[in-house]
């Protein structure tokens, strides 16, 4: 409207520390919520690969210091304090919380082997890894030439973390990452397929503003990066039905299991889905075995041994061959039309 000042354009690709909501030096103790983002003070939480520990500190403050936090880094304590400008200050503030444990030189793909005995002794409600990435000498981490190495890092972490989740609960693994290329090419939501005891549940938009003071850092550097396109990928244990509707393991009877082993006999393909599978879930994972069954069906159809339903019946929209017109007669008719138009 006339007379009203125009709003400045939204600057999306900016550094995290320039966000006005980030400029919070401290949080008043009386105002601290007991829940922040996807986490509550009643949970036992393991944070993996938190370079400068600003996420762990923000989480501890937001939860009032009541949550049992185990905060880790891949670097040694000496490296953390030398790489990050406020590393020593952040560690001191984090270690002041009574229920918080800080550990260094913890490998995300070998958590049970590199965590302390005390940290491994109790299982976790949430295991978090923000922006996992293999290091790069020139700072170009996450690029396409490192795609496979990063995928192996994430899948290895999921497999390692799944063994530390609490059993028979809604315990989850959270991986926060950017979604724009090349990071979106990783296919993080599919990397749990190779893990027997973890399934992808859902993804949630990551709002960094609910963790005041958190600055995402590049691997082994004091540099930050924008995270406006980041989401949290949530994974849960296969045998547990969480509140998000992840299904329990389907129970297949011995009779159905025996039928699955028969394969294709006498030109008749086996049933792709058993009745128990259809009733338990409307979505069934396409395994390599089922894929072979689909291929065998297509081969039978192509060879003519198996006809699709309704084959041989004329349906609306079917192609009907029209006889070709005589070219000479068409030319004569065209010549007559031209002659008539001249008259």
What pLDDT, in 10s, does the model give residues 2-61? 555 544 444 555 555 555 444 444 444 445 447 889 999 999 999 999 999 999 999 999
CA 195 to chain centre: 14
Cβ atoms of residues 215 and 224 within 8 Å: yes
Q: Which domains does the chain have, with CATH numbers?
A: 16-236 (3.40.50.150), 254-303 (no CATH)
Helix (H) or strand (E) holding 152: helix 147-162
Percentage, residues of the chain above pLDDT 70: 67
User: Which pLDDT score, from 0 to 100, does residue 110 have?
Assistant: 95
Better-scored residue on pLDDT, 70 or 340? 70
Mean residue pLDDT of the chain comes to 77
CA–CA dist 21, 11 (Å, integer): 14
Highest mean pLDDT among 133-137, 168-172, 285-289, 297-301 belongs to: 168-172
pLDDT of 100 over the 90 cut = yes
Q: Which pLDDT band, with edges at 50, 70 and 90, does 343 fall under?
A: low
Q: What is the pLDDT of residues 141-180, one digit of tens each?
A: 657 778 899 999 999 999 999 999 998 789 999 999 999 8
| Average pLDDT of span 98-115 | 95
Q: Where does residue 90 rank: exposed (0-12), middle (13-18), buried (19+ CB within 10 A)?
A: buried
Q: What is the pLDDT of residue 325?
A: 59
Mean pLDDT of 230-237: 93
């Amino acid at each position: 409207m006339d007379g009203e000042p125009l709003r400045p354009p939204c600057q999306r690709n900016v550094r995290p520390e320039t966000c006005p909501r980030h400029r919070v030096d401290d949080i008043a103790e009386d105002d601290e919520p007991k829940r922040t983002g996807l986490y509550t003070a009643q949970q036992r939480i393991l944070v993996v690969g938190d370079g400068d520990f600003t996420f762990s500190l923000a989480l501890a403050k937001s939860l009032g210091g009541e949550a049992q936090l185990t905060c880790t880094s891949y670097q040694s304590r000496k490296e953390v304090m030398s790489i990050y400008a406020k590393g020593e200050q952040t560690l001191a503030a984090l270690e002041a919380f009574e229920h918080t444990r800080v550990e260094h030189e913890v490998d995300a793909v070998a958590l049970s082997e590199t965590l302390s005995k005390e940290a491994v002794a109790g299982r976790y409600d949430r295991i978090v890894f923000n922006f996992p990435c293999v290091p790069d000498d020139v700072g170009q981490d996450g690029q396409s030439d490192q795609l496979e190495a990063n995928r192996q890092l994430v899948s290895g972490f999921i497999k390692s973390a799944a063994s530390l989740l609490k059993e028979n609960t809604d315990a989850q693994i959270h991986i926060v990452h950017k979604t724009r290329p090349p990071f979106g090419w990783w296919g993080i939501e599919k990397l749990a397929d190779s893990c027997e005891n973890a399934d992808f549940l859902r993804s949630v938009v990551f709002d960094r503003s609910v963790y005041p003071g958190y600055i995402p850092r590049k691997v082994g550097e004091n540099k930050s990066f924008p995270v406006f396109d980041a989401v949290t990928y949530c994974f849960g244990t296969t045998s547990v039905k969480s509140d998000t509707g992840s299904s329990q393991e389907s129970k297949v009877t011995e009779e159905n299991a025996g039928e699955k082993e028969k394969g294709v006999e006498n030109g008749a393909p086996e049933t792709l889905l058993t009745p128990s599978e259809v009733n338990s879930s409307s979505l069934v994972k396409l395994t390599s075995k089922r894929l072979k069954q689909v291929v065998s069906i297509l081969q039978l159809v192509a060879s003519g041994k198996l006809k699709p339903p309704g084959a041989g019946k004329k349906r609306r929209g079917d192609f009907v061959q029209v006889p070709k017109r005589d070219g000479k007669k068409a030319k004569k008719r065209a010549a007559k039309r031209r002659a008539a138009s001249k008259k």
